[in-house]
Structure 1
């Protein structure tokens, strides 16, 4: 039996689509300027923020009646970054990084900056429900976030169901002082059968480490009572991928190809009760 709802209705919006009582919208605007970035550093209590922050970008999946909204944005994502650097991760060009990672005070003294310079975040989206906001993993009431063995049916997502809306939204990016790349982006698509979101955090520290944290959100219209939320962490040493890079140097910028080669460290499956 087909899972396609018999009464799928939609309306195109200037920044998204309304489909089956859901609003799927995005915002794509320029990066924050230096003044805004300094303000964010103070607000987030961080000693450093990514080079490029798309602070006014977002992806939003919300019920039209306002009962629930799930958004993905830079401010909440960065707020979950560690406040001090992970000392187990050292760039190969250590002396170069140390030079970048210092600042001079007005008196001329050199002071080490200590911050999570990889900008790794455990962020899995921001949930607004019943007047409460949840975006930290510690704030997951069991009445809303329910562990499950049910998984997103990837084969269904491979079907050629009509796509009513699609967007790819950058959240932040940093080149780690030419030592790799750290970036967070979100892709969303609304179909006649449901809504799918993929948020991907990708980190490549050259000659050291490669990491990916994928968050998948899926709501199938025929299962109206919940969304599925899956978080997958993949990680490996740079040497694990070095044969690939040596064989094809251009592959170092092919994020999808790299992620396919990474071993999985952990996966979490949850239902978001609507």
Structure 2
């Protein structure tokens, strides 16, 4: 899904569109760019399997699709990509969700064999973004990244996000998707996972920066994990059919919180 304001609104906000046909804009010292590309080729998929040491990957991986938020003067770059997300999935081995039909699964690459899954086939990931530094100021004398996320008490001002100021740029970047062999859907736009008839799981990451011309950027990240079974939702009087849960905003209001934290990106004083 792509949408952007007209050029007059962009200029009125002190922003400008990115050059050379790139999707995004520059505003208040930030460059925001989204890239939507096609699925990985079979050759690239094989390379990813080797790097991740697994033959179990989502049906559709958009390996070259990215969302990049770059603070130009400091070189701070926050970005979202499929490979890092799958590294998070691989390193957080959640137990496999049992589908209603059986505890066994006909795995798509071996349709004539019954295999009991021993991995998280929903591809749930704790991934909440990657950060890199493109200037030497973000690296210490030993070459280590000096930027890090620290837990904080500050909260994202949700009311400010719902203000009626014009939306200058919006895009939805899908990183990977899997239909879970007709048992639901796993979709990483970093939004929602659903296993029909069994489980609803939402892992949500929001990154916010309040613009200020005379101070360093304050970058807050809100990370949440919400989850419930369809049975538990039905016991509270909520619908138990999967068609009622296509909107992540509706889902977030009905699922109990498993984990929630806010973090602030610490920027070195020398910048």
1:28 corresponds to 2:36: yes
Q: Distance in 2 between matches of 1:154 and 1:111?
A: 45
Cα displacement (A) at 1:91:
1.4
Tell me the TM-score normalized by structure 1: 0.78
Q: Distance in 2 between matches of 1:179 and 1:44?
A: 25
| Structure 2 CA distance for partners of 1:84 and 1:268, relative to 1, 3 Å | closer
For structure 1, the 5+ residue unaligned runs are 1-6, 134-139, 186-198
SS at match of 2:83: helix
SS at match of 2:239: helix
For the aligned residue pairs, the C-alpha RMSD in angstroms reads 3.0
Q: Is the 8 A contact 1:118 1:182 kept in 2?
A: yes
SS at match of 2:119: coil
Cα displacement (A) at 1:29:
1.3
**Between Structure 1 and Structure 2, which shows a larger proportion of strand residues?**
1
Out of 155, 178, 185, which is 1:151 matched to? 155
Aligned length: 243
Cα displacement (A) at 1:116:
2.4
1:13-34 Cα distance to aligned partner (Å, 9 max, x none): 1310011111000101112233
Q: Distance in 2 between matches of 1:143 and 1:29?
A: 29
Q: Is the 8 A contact 1:59 1:71 kept in 2?
A: yes
Partner of 1:93: 101
Tell me the TM-score normalized by structure 2: 0.78
For structure 2, the 5+ residue unaligned runs are 1-11, 139-143
Out of 46, 52, 55, which is 1:44 matched to? 52
Q: Is the 8 A contact 1:235 1:263 kept in 2?
A: yes
Query: Which aligned pairs between 1:195-214 and structure 2 lie closer than 5 A?
Result: 199-200=190-191, 202-214=192-204
Q: Distance in 2 between matches of 1:171 and 1:121?
A: 12
1:10 corresponds to 2:18: no
| Structure 2 CA distance for partners of 1:267 and 1:84, relative to 1, 3 Å | closer
